[in-house]
């Protein structure tokens, strides 16, 4: 049985990606889409600047949820997200979550990743086996 209850908060995760994080994430992930690493290209296609990889922000959501299991990589069974607002480097990302359901050792968590008022990931639903 999980010790979590519906309505419990996931430990808040705060990360400020530095200017070159998108480059390191591009190297780590293999996603070199220039909108993430080239401000001039990003502006040319109508974006305000180079933007964070959505899958990087999703990785932070996964990391925040993994904290419920002490970081055990076996715990996260499913993660579903929608990318909406664009994430920017050099701005703090705050990941928050609330337990939505508990069924035995299976826990569902609603998670949001935001930079200020800008929700860069919303409707994120994580299913964990704890």
Partner 1 sequence: MPIKTDAVGKTWPASTYQVGREKIKEYANALGIENPVHFDVEAARAEGFRDVVAPPMFAVVYALPAMAPAILDPEVGINFATMVHGGQVFEWGEVACSGDDITTTPVCVSIEEKDGKGFYVFESTSVNQDGEQVLHAVWTNIVRGV
CA 57 to chain CA centroid, nearest Å: 4
Q: Give the torsion through C-alpha atoms of 110, 37, 92, 6, to 10 deg.
A: 10
Q: Does 56 bind partner 1 (CB under 8 A)?
A: yes
**Pairing label, strands 118-129, 106-115:** antiparallel
φ, ψ of residue 89 to 5 degrees: the values are -65, 160
Residue 5 three-state SS: coil
Residues in 65-104 that interact with partner 1 by CB under 8 A: 66, 70-74, 76-83, 86
x/- string (CB under 8 A) for partner 1, residues 8-47? -------x-----x--xx-xxxxx-x-----------xx-
User: Between residues 73 and 104, which has the closer beta carbon with respect to partner 1?
Assistant: 73
- Per CB under 8 A, residues contacting partner 1 are 15, 21, 24-25, 27-31, 33, 45-46, 54-56, 58-60, 62-63, 66, 70-74, 76-83, 86
């Amino acid at each position: 049985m999980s010790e979590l209850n519906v309505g419990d908060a996931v430990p808040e995760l705060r990360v400020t990606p530095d200017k070159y994080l998108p480059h390191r994430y591009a190297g780590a992930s293999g996603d070199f889409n220039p909108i993430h690493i080239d401000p001039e290209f990003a502006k040319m296609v109508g974006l305000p600047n180079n933007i964070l990889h959505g899958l990087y922000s999703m990785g932070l959501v996964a990391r925040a949820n993994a904290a419920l299991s002490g970081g055990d990589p076996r715990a996260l069974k499913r993660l579903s997200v929608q990318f909406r607002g664009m994430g920017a480097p050099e701005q703090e990302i705050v990941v928050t979550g609330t337990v939505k359901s508990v069924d035995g050792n299976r826990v569902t968590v609603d998670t949001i990743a935001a930079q200020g008022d800008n929700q860069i990931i919303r409707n994120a639903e994580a299913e964990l086996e704890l």
